Amino acid sequence: MSAARVGVVTFPGTLDDQDAARAVRHVGGEAVPLWHADPDLKGVDAVFLPGGFSYGDYLRCGAISRFAPLMEELIPAARAGLPVLGTCNGFQILCEAHLLPGALMRNAGLHYICRDQGIRVENTTTPWTSDFTEGQEIVLPVKHGEGRYVADQATLEALEAGGQVVFRYVGGNPNGSLNDIAGIRNEAGNIVGLMPHPEHAVEDLTGAPSTDGRGFFTSILKKLVNA
């Protein structure tokens, strides 16, 4: 598994890049730092877009990051099949880049939410979810102010019909997301975005609510090693 190279992107204002890199290393992968201003993916096998407040969340969350030089390389690579996972701000960036449909808006009630959250795995066919079982309920931290997933009715119906809803909130919807959606994938399945943070739930040492986040990283490493 050590040959699998997962790029971890850092934008100005990114908070969780080191957590993501640690999670990759924790399961035996090589974490490769990717800088927003450098249009070079360094030959990585997959990319992780971590959470934070890129560019201070000015304009809209992820709206400026979407135009970073690195994204000029990442967007066509993702469309060509490169596995990409975006969590929280990373999910917002993927939507702004039109790699995933819909948008993330202010939470219902307009409060910032920080808590442990139950989610249900709805799809295990992606490179990031194959180590889970369909219907499995896991617990991951959430921490966001703009996590309410919205899309027009036609898009929602297409997501549901096409099996593109990957995660759904259980035990209460923290932000008012339509259809309790916590995470989605693109039609091809190589791009996944979700609001919860798997990188914060990989080992007991950190006091995380679970180690359920490990499944994301073991999934992608197995996919890359067996490719």
Q: Give the residue numbers annotated as catalytic, written as ranges.
A: 88, 197, 199
Candidates 31, 203, 220, 200; CA nearest to 124 is 220
User: Do 137 and 170 contact (CB within 8 A), yes or no?
Assistant: yes
Candidates 144, 133, 129; CA nearest to 197 is 144
Q: Give the Cα separation of 134 and 130 in Å (integer).
A: 9
Q: Give the Cα separation of 184 and 158 in Å (integer).
A: 12
Q: Give the Cα separation of 90 and 92 in Å (integer).
A: 5
User: Do 197 and 143 contact (CB within 8 A), yes or no?
Assistant: yes
Query: Angle at the Cα of 207 (from 35 to 202), degrees rounded to 5?
Result: 50
Q: Give the Cα separation of 182 and 129 in Å (integer).
A: 14
Encoding tokens for residue 70?
A: 């690195």
Pairing mode of beta strands 113-121, 137-144: antiparallel
